[in-house]
Amino acid sequence: MRRRSVVAAAALVIALAALAGAPASAAETDAGPGDITVTVPESDAGRPITNAQFRWGLNAESGAGAFAGGCNFLSAGRAGNAGSARVWTAADGLYSATSAAVRIEKPAAGGEYRLASFESRCLDASGRAVSVSSLTSTTANQVVIDQGRGRLVPGAGLEIRWTGSFTVVFYGGMTYWTVTDPVLTLDPAGDGRVTATASGFGTSMDDLSKWVPLPEQSIVLAELRGVDPASDGGFAIVPEYVGVSVPDAGQIERTSENAAYWGSFPASFVEYQKLTGQAGYWLTTGGQRDRAKPATTLYVSYDAAAPIAVTPPAVAGSADEPSNPIRVRPGQPVQLPADVATRLPIGIPLAAATSLPQGPGLVPASAAAALSALAGPLLASALALALAVVAVLNIMGRLPWQRALRAGR
């Protein structure tokens, strides 16, 4: 009996040790107040996923026109070292549309998504260059990663891991960083997050001579709420942004005017962007591009061979969209050197090899128009007054030529 008790106790200790050391997958990166911590136990139960697809454009700003360098865009793979904060060229070999299971796609005029290219990286679906003057002008480029592997366990949650990298490029290459190996984790309620490893190079809008390789760091790409992981084929969800507060990052106060788009990407995401020089483009700062910063729809398909439907954005300048373009006052253009974009601090509203817009006139346009209409009557009155003065002086003998005659007598 005593021997059996010892054996049973030993078995219990071994079992507890096995449970304590049992592998579990958890998204524990940057956990803090209000964040979600999800643990999905590994199990043979549930639905295995062997070829999931991850599709996301991050936000509209990641495919928009830029104040310098042409545009912001996504590139497949881990970009190499440009050596400085400068605009990429095709000859650099830094851009790539594909890299292993990763590719960059853009919508075409018909709504279908096609592989992007260096030549099309700044063009919208209609083939027009994206413009920083419009908040709806965007290439809508998206990163697509196939071959995701994981498991959906009813009552436990979902975990999918993808292998591959993509690079987020702003200002044509003057600042960029890379995302590697995204991991999606959801709890039974459909709440969770996407984490990944970030890397890249640090610069500053105040000092473009700064160019520092950054250490790899695990960050939260997206916080998700209310996903239905059991939906057929996958799901589409807009990650948390609106209403999200991040301290000490330059986020302005929320007001009734900006409440509809006020927010931020996750705290660890923004904290890393302080190193890259992009922090201001991932939360509300009071700038003119704030409406383009909220997160866009994230698509996850459980089978890349049968992906869920993707809704392309409306084309800028379509008939149902109000148009309010920036107009340049006529004037002699001031031509700038062709390499000016490589020397402008990030954030200066000027594009390479363009013309400086003329400043506003001293007289408002409405007042100028009124003066133009009154010019005729005013001149006529002035002429009549001048003639009357001459006539009076003539009668009084006070005109210069009259005085000269008298002097000559």
Say if residue 213's pLDDT is above 80. Answer: yes
Looking at every residue in the chain, the average pLDDT score rounds to 77
Q: Name the more confident of 349 and 180.
A: 180
15-33: pLDDT as tens digits: 333 333 333 444 444 555 4
Model confidence at 390, pLDDT cuts 50, 70, 90, reads low
pLDDT of residue 386: 62
As a whole number, mean pLDDT of residues 80-91 equals 96
Q: Of the ranges 133-147, 271-285, 355-369, 388-402, which one carries the lowest mean pLDDT score? A: 355-369
- Residue predicted with more confidence, 398 or 235: 235
Averaged pLDDT, 318-346 = 35
Write down the pLDDT at residue 319: 36
Query: 173 with 94: CB under 8 angstroms?
Result: yes
251: CB partners within 8 A, 6+ apart: 245, 264, 283, 284, 285
Q: Tell me what pLDDT residue 90 has.
A: 96
Residue 201 has pLDDT above 70, yes or no: yes
Angle 249-293-100 (CA atoms, 0-180°, nearest 5)?
100
Q: List the structure tokens of 341.
A: 């974009």
33 by DSSP, 3-state: which? coil
SS (H, E, C) 383-394: HHHHHHHHHHHH
